[in-house]
Structures are given as C-alpha cells and as structure tokens.
Amino acid sequence: MEVLFLLKRFLRYYKRMYDIHITFRNEEYDMYIPKYFKINDEEVIYNFIEENGFATVFSQHNGGPYATHLPLILDRTKRELYGHFAKPNHQWKDIENQEVLIIFQGPHCYISPSWYETQDAVPTWNYVSIHVYGNMEMIMDEQEIMDALSDLVVKYELPESPYKLEDVDSNYMSGLSKGIVPFKIKINRIEGKWKLSQNHSEERQKLVIQQLEKIPSENQKQIAKLMKENLACKKL
C-alpha cells in the first residue's frame, strides 16, 4: 500500500508539471483541468461561448459515440442553449434521455520550447475550451422555434444586412421547418479551461507572447492577446 501511495504521488507530480492526464481506477474526472488552467468566472465562460458559438454536440447514438457540429445560441438567464438538427441526422432520435456534452473550442496554437530562456523544455499546446453538460429536449412550440431561429440569424448577419427571417414567405418557411429538429439544452454544469502557460514563470510567458505576436495567424494572435490579458489581471 505504501508503494502504491508513493507511486500515485510521483505520477501526480508529473501530471502537474507536464500537463499529462493520468487517471486512477478509483478516481473520476470530467475534463482534465489543472487548477491554474481553470476558468472560475462564469461571466468569462458565457462571453467565450457567445464569441465561439459553433459547437460540437456529443451523445450516444445506436450504442456508440456520435457528434454533430452546430451553431448554438446561449440564453444566459434561462441557462439554456438553442439549436437545431437536420432531420435526416438521426442523432436527435435517441438523445433526449441522456446527458449530452457540448464542446466550444477557441483559439489554439503550438508553443515551441525554442522560445524559452532554456533548452531544458519540451513543446506544448496552448488553447481555450469550454465543456457544457446538459439535457436536451425538442422544441414543439412554433413561436419558440421561430424566436430561436431568428436569434441565430440576427447574431450572425451583419448589422447593416437587409435580411430578416420574418420577411421570408411563411409557406416557404413552413416547408423548410419540416426538415429540421429544433432543440434546447438545459445546462447542468460548465467547465472552462484556458491553457495559457500559467504554469510557467512570468518571464517565460512574456517570451512566448513576443514570439506568438510575430506569427501572422489569427490563432496565435488570439492566444497572445489572452496571455497578455491574463498577466495584466494578475497584477490587479
């Protein structure tokens, strides 16, 4: 027993230092989140979901894992997500009696150890991800369906766009509506993780930011921006 205890302590040390996911038989985890990567502010999580609304919905279907990529709308007050499946996508047929997982993926990028002040390091990956767990129910009320569809269009159409869903011919809309399965997800719990090199020194984080800002890619720019904001918050 003493050997097992020491082994667990040893493995936990390496898990903490190198962000390795190690699970013991008597322990259960949701998303693996070391304490320094955890997002505790629900407002920050909600903002992230609204800015990165194209999600992946996971469930069990016909005895196996199944996923669909969908834009979702968040109702903060009701703690609900709204969306719709294409009716030929049969994931909806057995999804109501299970808890589903929804993943919102944000910016991510490779972090090179060559950017550090030492060569005694290994590569890693910085990223932001939100996991939402909830129960789905199909929407039957026609007004609720139209409100959800309209909210989706309003969110993504440009402010100066002349397009309005309510201007579409009602018969045409009625025909299209028969091809979708609208739903809402009651949120049970949310996990947020931003891995932004917080487990490294401030000096090293600044070196990473400097290198990321040199790369002409949106992912690298976004990660650099988040890292700078995180460092600024720590000084408040």
Taking the model in full, what pTM does it have? Answer: 0.84
Q: How far is CA 54 from CA 51, 102, 149, 174, 210, in A?
A: 9, 10, 15, 25, 29
CA gap 177, 158 in Å, rounded = 24
Residues 78/86, Cβ–Cβ less than 8 Å: no
Dihedral pair phi/psi, residue 166, rounded to 5°: -70, -15
Say how far apart CA 69 and CA 231 lie, in whole Å. Answer: 33
Q: Walk along the chain (236 residues) and give the pLDDT tens digit of each residue.
A: 443 444 445 445 444 444 444 333 334 548 999 999 999 999 999 999 999 999 999 999 999 999 999 999 999 999 999 999 999 999 999 999 899 999 999 999 999 999 998 888 999 999 999 999 999 999 999 999 999 999 999 999 999 999 999 999 989 988 888 999 999 999 999 999 999 999 999 999 999 999 999 999 999 999 999 999 999 987 76
Q: For 62, which DSSP code?
A: T
